[in-house]
Each structure stands twice: as structure tokens, then as C-alpha cells.
Amino acid sequence: MRITFCCTDTASEPWLNGLRAALPGAEVSLWEPGAAAADYAVVWAPPQQFFDEQLHLRAMFNIGAGVDALLKMRLPPGTQVIRLDDAGMSVQMAEYVCHTVIRHFREFEGYETDMVKGKWSFRKPRSRMDYPVGVLGLGVLGERVARAVAQFDFPVNGWSRTPKAVPGVQCFAGAEQFDAFLQASRVLVCLLPLTPETRDIMNHAHLSRLRPGGYVINVARGAHLVDEDLLALLDDGHLEGATLDVFRVEPLPKDHPFWNHPKITLTPHTSARTLRSESIAQIAGKIAAMQRGALVGGRVDPLRGY
Amino acid sequence: MRITFCCTDTASEPWLNGLRAALPGAEVSLWEPGAAAADYAVVWAPPQQFFDEQLHLRAMFNIGAGVDALLKMRLPPGTQVIRLDDAGMSVQMAEYVCHTVIRHFREFEGYETDMVKGKWSFRKPRSRMDYPVGVLGLGVLGERVARAVAQFDFPVNGWSRTPKAVPGVQCFAGAEQFDAFLQASRVLVCLLPLTPETRDIMNHAHLSRLRPGGYVINVARGAHLVDEDLLALLDDGHLEGATLDVFRVEPLPKDHPFWNHPKITLTPHTSARTLRSESIAQIAGKIAAMQRGALVGGRVDPLRGY
């Protein structure tokens, strides 16, 4: 069995060594133009030439949760694309979102800033019943995030394309329940895959439906959010703030109005990193299962887009 | 049945109205010198005269989790002091501690500060296996905090005077296991009651036993921490930082070295506020139970100190 590794912006040696250790029977090598046809590929942002040459892959593993960029390429016909199910990402997303929700709800930034100024301040505690949190997308990441937020006794709503049931979460599904989901939420957390249906989903019309004092947390893809619509709703006061980890262009261009906006907190696409050892273990397990003829999770449906 | 209310620095009307609504058969009034003897009292930092006059109380409810200040007064002999069990405080403690642990572990402060400077930065992700969190005190608050932190897959240790079992938490108990608890922990969260045994418990000898890069979170009482020992261990680098919500003197005196210390984050005793409606419901429930002759939770043992 031959495995080829083709990941842009990734230190390849630790991955190659890790895959060799996890799959001792496999021949694991770094892809180069003209390389022999492999059975499996581990990829991140490979060049089109890679797809044009590797025509006999049984499966291609994407070392990230989002496959939107991959699906824009001309893929070899019939190749199964497989996403990482979790690989340590869901707990990081839960951390990021809980940290942001708590920080905003409890006004810790305000308290800390007052203390830096030498001011011992008091703010009236807010009611968590006034802070329903809506999670867009209830896949592996969204479900973990929704459960984590619910643990702090916030009312939690979840929305997904197809109906889901998550304990402690009020679940909404499909286009017909989307407005009801938005109207029931004050904080909106985006964890959707980026597809033609979800692009620009956080636009003026939809964000306007959030409860007054709304707050936007985007940890999915920059293209889910219409930047100027967010800015307009922050300016007119319908939204209280936003924490953004992802952007239409990354790194965020120097002249973008998000920089130093008083109501926006920025982080540099760090909400959930691919963790190497967890990912290698998961990919090795899936390859072993496929070799036994088993079906594995995370198979991407190119028509659905995730 | 007569209930007297004597709470310093507290708006009394909403409490009186709330208690009257919750206990329609009771005569609820604000204490004043010379008032008639009551059966129950709801107190926060009452003057000594209150105790000297109210000699027939069946129980005294303290509207806070800590009774250290109350037990320093000369109390009427035989009066049962009852602490609030939770009343919305444990979830606030869980929020405060998780926010702090995540913020430090994920370096969000550093990322946000870089972004404010226009810098799109990268930091190598830390391993959560290197961040064992130790919770001092496994009462209602400590147990909720330990469970909440464990949900983010950190190794969690807990220490209590008497043995406890908390799922997902490595529990240590008593003086003989205290060093082992400290040596197994990197982050130390104090949620102990303040008693003669726990005063100054976070001193140089004990804090030195934390793993290198230790971090201190104090949400209990200022007197648990020896201020100059914390400063010395931050200066010599054994500790990476601290987040402190409570202080020996509050508000923190203007000339205290904690102000603007680069490794210390301060908040003004806001980690868990007494929530009025939850507290009234709990006190009313306990009074009703005592009237029926039932035993209630939260009874303070004056010798033990909590």
C-alpha cells in the first residue's frame, strides 16, 4: 500500500514519520511531480497538478475540518474525500466559544480594563436567561460546542440542515425553521461548512433577526459573513459586538475596517488547530478500516459540499 | 413566624418583598436596634448589636458562600448558621475559572494583543496534558468547577479535607496527600472556606511545589494567599501568572503591588455574586423545611469553620 503526502505550509517530516510508525506496512512518501500512483493521499491545499496525476487514489484525507477549498479543484473522478472527524479540534472549538461567550456575558474585559486603570468597579449581573446562544451547524464541532455552552446553564439553540437531537439544546432544522432559530438567539456562533448554500449566510437580513444586543462569533469561514453587514449592524447598535477568527482573506488585509474596531475582537485563525498526533492516529485508523473493507466516517459528499 | 433581615450594603426592599412573597405566612421585617425577637434571620455582615439582641433565632441564613467573617463575631449561643448551598454561585465560579484557565492555556490575551497591534501571529499550540488543573476545596462550588474544567479534557486534580469522589477528577484528601496534589498540578484554583487551617495556605512552600510554569487562581478569600510569596514566585519565574478576584483588603489598597503587575490579572470580587431570586427561593425552602422539622443542608459547624 502506497501513501502520498502533499500538504502546503506544513512541516512534512513529523507527519511522514508519524504515518510510517502508525502504518508499518505502508510505503509513505512526500509527493513530488511525476511520483508513482498512490492508494491513499494525505493533503492540505495541494496544487492542481497533484490531482491531475494521482488518478488511482482510494481515498484522500484532508487534514482540516473544512473541505471548501479542496472541492473547488478538479478532483480525480471517483476519489473519496475524507474529512477529519475531530482530531482534537472540537474541544478547541468548545474552549474558544465558551471563552468568548463567558467573557462577553460576564463583562470580564470591562472589569479587567477598569482594574488596569486602578478602578474597583461594579456592574449589575446580567441574567443568563437573556443570553440564548444559537449554534449554526450541529456536526461534530457544533454539537460539542453547543453541549459545552449548555453546561454553563445558558439557553442553547442549534440549527442544522437536517434534523438533529442534542440533549440540552433546542434544535431547529432546515430553511423553514431558520428564522425561528435566529429570533430565539442573541449570540450567534457559526460552525457551518462553507457551501454555496451557506456562503454569506450571516448577512444583514439574517443578523437583524437576532435579539437586540446580539453578538456574532465566527469560527467557520470568512465567507459565511458579509463584512459590511456586520459593520452596519454594529454601528446602528443592533449588535453589541463580534469575535472573529476567520476572514474572507487571511491574513486580514492591512486596510480592513475590522482592525481596531472598538466592538470587534480578532484572533488569527487559531480557534482550532489540526493536532498532528491525533490526526495521524485517526487517518491510520481509517486507512486500516478501509483496507478491511469497512465504511469510515467523515466521507465528503461533493454535491452536498461537506 | 417572624423573620428579620439585616444585610449591610444590600438594597433591602427587593429582599423583603421577595421573602414575603415566598413565605406568605411569615412576618418579614428589616432589623433595627430594639426590634422584637425573630425566629429566623437573613444576614450579611450584621453589627455585633444584632447578635447581642437576637437571642431566640432558630437559624441565621448568611447570603454568601463564605461565613468566615460571621464566625468571628460573638454569636448567640445555640444559633444554627446556614450557608447558601449554591443559589447560582457555582455556575458563576465555573464560568470564571474556565474563562481564566482557557484564556491562559490558549494564550488568547497574547493573540488579541497582537491583533490590536495589527500583527497576525502564530504560537505553537500547548499540550493540555501539560496543564493539570488542581482545585483546592471540593464543596458545592469546587466540585462544579472541577467538573467544568474536566469537560475541556484537562487533567483535573481535587483536594479536600475529607475524602471525596468526583467523576473525571483525581481526588486527594487530607494533610498527608496535600503535597502529592500540589506536585500533580500546574494551575491551582482556590475554592476553600477560610478557616484557621486554610489561612495562608497558598504560601511560598506550597506554591513552590506546583509544576514549573504554575498559575494561581484565587476566587475564595484574600487571606488564603500570602501576597509577597506569590510576588516572589512570579518574579523568579516559577509561576507564570495569576488571576485574583479576592484580596486581604477590599477594595485593593491603592499602593498594593498587585496593581498593574504584568503577570497578574485582577477582577473586583466579582467571580460569583449572590443572586437575589435564587437565594430567596433557597432560604424560603429551607425555612419551610425546618418548620416541618426536617434537617437542611448548608449547616455550618462553628468548630470546623464552614
Tell me which amino acid residue A210 is. Answer: L
Closest CA to A217 of A259, A245, A251: A245
Name chain A contacts of B278, Cβ cutoff 8 Å.
none
C-alpha torsion A198→A202→A203→A209, nearest 10: 120
Is the CB of A111 less than 8 angstroms away from the CB of B252?
no
pLDDT score, position B274: 87
CA separation (Å) from B278 to B6, B45, B65? 18, 20, 13
| Best residue of A92, A101, A151, A154 to probe chain B, by most B CBs closer than 10 Å | A151
Cell numbers found for residue A191 = 460552525
Is the CB of B115 less than 8 angstroms away from the CB of A152?
no
CA separation (Å) from B41 to B23, B45, B118? 14, 12, 57
pLDDT score, position B114: 97
**Mean pLDDT over each residue of chain B, to the nearest integer:** 96
Residues B51-72 have pLDDT tens digits of: 999 999 999 999 987 899 999 9
CB A66 within 8 A of CB A46: no
pLDDT score, position A86: 83
Instruction: In whole angstroms, give the CA distance from residue A7 to residue A54.
Output: 14
For the question of residue B261 being annotated catalytic, the response is no
Query: For residue A133, which phi and psi values (nearest 5 degrees)?
Result: -105, 125
Name chain A contacts of B96, Cβ cutoff 8 Å.
102, 106
Close Cβ partners of A208 (under 8 Å, ≥ 6 residues apart):
A233, A238
Question: Distance (Å) from the C-alpha of residue A202 to the closest C-alpha of chain B?
Answer: 23
pLDDT score, position B78: 86
The one-digit pLDDT tens for each residue of chain A (306 residues) are: 999 999 998 999 999 999 999 999 999 999 999 999 999 999 999 999 999 999 999 999 999 878 999 999 999 988 899 998 888 899 999 999 999 999 999 999 999 999 999 999 999 999 999 999 999 999 999 999 999 999 999 999 999 999 999 999 999 999 999 999 999 999 999 999 999 999 999 999 999 999 999 999 999 999 999 999 999 999 999 999 999 999 999 999 999 999 999 999 999 999 999 889 999 999 999 999 999 999 999 999 998 999
Above 90 in pLDDT, residue B245?
A: yes
Is the CB of A251 less than 8 angstroms away from the CB of B96?
no
- CA A186, A189, A193: angle at the middle one, nearest 5? 145
pLDDT score, position B123: 95
**Chain B residue with minimal CA distance to A247?**
B120
| Burial degree of B131 (CB within 10 A; 0-12, 13-18, 19+) | buried
pLDDT score, position B86: 83
Residues B250-301 have pLDDT tens digits of: 999 999 999 999 999 999 999 999 889 999 999 999 999 999 999 999 999 9
DSSP string, B131-182: --EEEE--SHHHHHHHHHHHTTT--EEEEESS----TTSEEEETGGGHHHHH
